């Protein structure tokens, strides 16, 4: 009896040791995968000055990834009400192969002021940077909308949040396992009707968001602006009528 009890005890101990070893191996493998994960860095900045800007977005992977050329990067950006993207301008830029961006939002009015506008959604297919193997970049022209005049301060702020970063690869990469949060359905390419399941990637941003300072009118100048505008309109209309009757040729 004692021998049988000892044998059972040894078998139980051996099984426990094996289970602990397998569990430790899984933990070590998971930790090793996390240790090899490289950060994804996103940076966005505005180029040019004035009411018409260019939004430049750059994405860099922390370390060299072999076969990254088989991956595609899609930037899903939400444009705040203080800005707008001209869909006709985007169509022209796509024809010239300058950018691969398309409007998602429908019933979009580029003439509406910010207080009558809604947030718009844009899809930008990023391109690989020729000067950086592990980098992608995207380009989007944006424009200021008209804002309500203020009583005191002659400026208002527009906050541009960071976009969603979507990634699709023909092969499995460790970076997908590291930073993929969820799947998002979107067109596989700009001119494709096929839908792919893109991975919504977690990344580190250089800036939390971008802030733009936009000049606006002052309410105390309303009477002056209206009076001068009306005066100029009447004056120009009068000059046009005088020129028409003086130099025009009418036949009855």
Summarised one tens digit per residue, pLDDT across range 40-91 is 899 999 998 889 999 999 999 876 666 677 788 999 999 999 999 999 999 9
For 142-162, how does the pLDDT look when each residue is reduced to its tens digit (9 = 90+)? 999 998 888 887 888 999 999
| 223 φ, ψ (degrees, to nearest 5) | -60, -45
What count of other Cβ atoms lies within 10 Å of the Cβ of residue 102? Answer: 18
Is it the case that residue 122 has pLDDT exceeding 50? yes
| pTM to 2 decimal places | 0.74
82: nearest Cα among 29, 134, 119: 119
In this prediction, residue 94 has a pLDDT band, given cuts at 50, 70 and 90, of very high
Task: Return the H-helix or E-strand segment holding 9.
Answer: helix 2-35
Q: What Cα–Cα distance (Å) separates residue 135 from each residue in 42, 59, 107? A: 10, 6, 34
State pLDDT tens for residues 214-243: 888 887 888 888 999 999 999 999 999 999
Helix or strand or coil: residue 110? coil
Dihedral of alpha carbons 14, 20, 26, 28, sign: negative
Query: Are the C-beta atoms of 203 and 165 separated by less than 8 Å?
Result: yes
């Amino acid at each position: 009896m004692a021998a049988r009890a000892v044998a059972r005890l040894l078998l139980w101990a051996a099984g426990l040791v094996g289970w602990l070893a397998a569990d430790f191996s899984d933990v070590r493998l998971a930790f090793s995968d996390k240790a090899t994960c490289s950060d994804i860095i996103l940076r966005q900045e505005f180029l040019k000055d004035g009411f018409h800007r260019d939004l430049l977005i750059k994405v860099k992977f922390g370390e060299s990834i072999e076969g990254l050329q088989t991956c595609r990067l899609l930037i899903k950006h939400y444009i705040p009400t203080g800005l707008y993207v001209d869909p006709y301008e985007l169509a022209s830029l796509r024809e010239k192969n300058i950018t691969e961006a398309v409007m998602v939002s429908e019933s979009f009015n580029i003439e509406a002021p910010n207080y009558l506008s809604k947030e718009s959604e844009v899809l930008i297919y990023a391109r690989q940077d020729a000067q950086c193997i592990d980098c992608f970049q995207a380009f989007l022209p944006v424009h200021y909308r008209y804002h309500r005049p203020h009583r005191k301060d002659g400026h208002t702020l527009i906050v541009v949040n960071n976009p969603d970063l979507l990634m699709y690869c023909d092969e499995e990469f460790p970076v997908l396992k590291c930073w993929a949060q969820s799947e998002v359905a979107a067109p596989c390419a700009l001119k494709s009707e096929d839908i792919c399941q893109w991975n919504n990637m977690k990344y580190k941003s250089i800036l939390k968001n971008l802030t733009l300072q936009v000049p606006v009118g002052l309410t105390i100048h309303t009477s002056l602006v209206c009076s001068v505008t009306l005066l100029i309109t009447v004056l120009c209309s009068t000059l046009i009528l005088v020129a028409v009757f003086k130099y025009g040729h009418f036949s009855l």
